[in-house]
Amino acid sequence: MLKNEFLWGASTSAFQAEGAYLEDGKGLGTVDVRKVPSGIADTKIASDHYHHWEEDIESMRELGLNTYRFSFSWSRIMPDGKTVNEKGLKFYEQIIDRCLEYGIEPLPTLYHFEMPQALVDRYQGWLSEKTIDAYEKYARICFKWFKKKVKRWVTINEQLIAGAAADLHGIHTQDPEQAMKNMYQIYANMAIAEKKAMLALKEIDPQAEIGPVCAIQIVYPNSSDPFDVLAAMDAEEMMMYSLLDLSVNGSYPPRFTSYLKKKGYMPQISKEDWSLLRSAKPDFIGINYYFPLAVCHPQPNQDFSKLPPFWRCELFQVVDNPHLQKSEWMPNGMDPEGLYLGIRKLYDRYHLPLIITENGMAYSDILEDGKVHDLYRIEYLDAHIRKIEQAISEGYPVFGYCPWSLFDLISSHQGFKKRYGLIYVDRTDEDTKTCARIKKDSYYWYRDRIRKGINHD
């Protein structure tokens, strides 16, 4: 990696940023129809990026970014999952063209928690192989339209969360066992869809690169008790390696296979699909990292049923980590060391270049006299960037960093009180106001940090 090649970016995602939820031919997406608790912002306006995109790209230029990680709204490009809405493609084209004009490399994600609701109504979304075909078709359309303009693509954002959060993918069941089966089938189908997209890209634009984005799970054992150590290893395998092994190598870790069989959760994967899964490799892995977890060996008679599905496997139990500093929106604690460990773990296992596609600190920021003094966020970002520098100086190929998020967005589940942006968006959950943009202290700090560059020593 040449020293000047490091990508300094920032991240957003379509449904959390754009708004304009039915404008210019966009269809309903899964995230537009989910039930949002009252008092929590929905996708209709979000941060109104659809009408502020020019101003937002100007801010990127002033910041000194050389990459922008964002996502396409599948339902804007293919409102019914079948036909193409050219206005949707053109919306992204103007963003991509403007970014390129400013020397900002676009890094789009094809699926970031959102698909046309029509695919859920028609096929049960990711549960069906028909959706795999629909995704491949959508990917091919995007690859052809943006050939030579987009050098790097992301296939799917955070399979772990996307497959487990029923409200994000639109498939609901009351039966907890069925929910578990669905989750593992969805993970498998997503992995197959990703491989189809990887092969399609190499056919359409062979110079371009493609990779998944993983919500990395860095799990500490609660003690040196060997059973706690095993629980931590199992947790990382169940929530991270099982997904990435499939995305990268087209296989499952043995213990995970045995777990799926024992529980009756083994997804249906045909012989042809197993060969497909082994037939393509990503060019890089994107890392999303916010905080680590700590686990212990499960105590007897625990009720796991209320936990998120990927914590329900009964091989580990999530516990508090007293060593980490917590905050209102980061109850699991903040830990830059976890990012460093994640870089090492992923590189040692997969030997692929890595980019940090999300990392950020949530806070209920306060706007005072037209300013946001978010020193807490500066400290968080600075500490994490230092860890990336350490990894790079030791020889790990990390080629970029994109904090979440460029500007405030609706959080995946918690509306507008939970803010991550470098730029404040003036709205609340209840009152959309004008969504005016106000640069926070962290924005100016990040601009100066980018100018300093990466210290490779």
385 to 404: interface string for ligand BG6, x by CB under 6 A:
-------------------x
Q: Do residues 217 and 235 touch, judged by C-beta distance below 8 A?
A: yes
From the list 18, 158, 236, 237, the catalytic residue is 158
Q: Establish if 215 lies at the interface with ligand BG6 (CB under 6 A).
A: yes
Token pair of 314 as six digits: 């009964």
Residue bearing tokens 């949002």:
36
- Total of chain residues touching ligand BG6, rule CB under 6 A: 15
Quick one: which segment of 188-196, 304-312, 405-413, 442-450 binds ligand BG6 (CB under 6 A)? Answer: 405-413
43 binds ligand BG6 (CB under 6 A): no
- Residue 155's SS3 state is strand
Neighbours of 324 (CB within 10 A): 18
Question: Nearest approach, Cβ of 13 to ligand BG6 (angstroms)?
Answer: 5
Would you say 12 or 59 has its CB closer to ligand BG6?
12
Interface with ligand BG6 includes 13 (CB under 6 A)? yes
Q: Is 12 in the site for ligand BG6 (CB under 6 A)?
A: no
Under the criterion CB under 6 A, does residue 326 sit at the interface with ligand BG6?
A: no
CB-based contacts of 407, cutoff 8 Å, min separation 6: 12, 17, 47, 49, 56, 59, 421, 422, 423, 424, 425, 437
Binding ligand BG6 (rule: CB under 6 A), the pick from 418, 419, 439, 440 is 418
Interatomic CA distance for residues 415 and 111, integer angstroms: 20
Q: Does 69 bind ligand BG6 (CB under 6 A)?
A: no
| C-alpha–C-alpha distance, residues 25 and 78, integer Å | 9
Of 364, 367, 334, residue with least CA distance to 433: 367
Q: Which of 362, 339, 446, 453 is nearest to 412 (CA)?
A: 362
Closer residue to ligand BG6 in complex, CB, 353/403: 403
Q: Is 438 in the site for ligand BG6 (CB under 6 A)?
A: no
Least distance CB 157 / ligand BG6 (angstroms): 5
The reply to whether 288 sits near ligand BG6 by the rule CB under 6 A is yes
**Alpha carbon of residue 325 to chain centroid:** 24
**Residue 407 near ligand BG6 by CB under 6 A:** no
Taking the least distance from each CB to ligand BG6, the nearer of 157 and 242 is 157
Taking the complex as a whole, how short is the minimal distance between the CB of residue 312 and ligand BG6, in angstroms? 19
Tokens of 44: 């209709």
The one catalytic residue in 209, 237, 358, 389 is 358
Closer Cβ to ligand BG6, 149 or 417, answer by number? 417
In this structure, are residues 325 and 383 in contact, taking their beta carbons and an 8 Å threshold?
A: no
> Which residue bears the tokens 């470098």?
422
47 binds ligand BG6 (CB under 6 A): no
Q: What's 394-428 look like in SS3?
A: CCCCEEEECCECCECCCECCCECCCECCCEEEECC
Distance in angstroms (rounded) separating the CA atoms of residues 295 and 325:
17
Q: Does 154 bind ligand BG6 (CB under 6 A)?
A: no
- Spell out, one character per residue from 349 to 368, where the chain touches ligand BG6: x when CB under 6 A holds, - when not: ---------x---x------
256 near ligand BG6, rule: CB under 6 A: no
- The whole-angstrom separation of Cα 196 and Cα 200 is 6
- Compute the least distance from the CB of residue 80 to ligand BG6, in Å: 24
Residue 83 DSSP class = S
Q: Is 378 left (phi over 0), alpha (psi -120 to 50) or beta?
A: alpha
Name the one range near ligand BG6 by CB under 6 A: 36-44, 153-161, 228-236, 382-390: 153-161
β-strand partners of 425: 437
Strand ranges in 87-233 using DSSP code E only, listed in sequence order: 105-111, 152-157, 209-215, 219-221
Only one of the segments 80-88, 91-99, 412-420, 431-439 lies at the binding site for ligand BG6 (rule: CB under 6 A); that segment is: 412-420
Q: Which range binds ligand BG6 by CB under 6 A, 157-165, 183-191, 258-266, 386-394?
A: 157-165
Is 379 noted as a catalytic residue in this protein? no
Q: Is 14 in the site for ligand BG6 (CB under 6 A)?
A: no
Task: Of 249, 386, 376, 235, give the one whose Cα is nearest residue 314.
Answer: 235
First-residue to last-residue Cα distance in the chain:
14
- Return the residue of 413, 417, 447, 449 that touches ligand BG6, per CB under 6 A: 413
Contacts with ligand BG6, residue ranges (CB under 6 A): 13, 16, 157-158, 161, 215, 288, 358, 362, 404, 411-414, 418
Residues tagged active-site? 158, 358
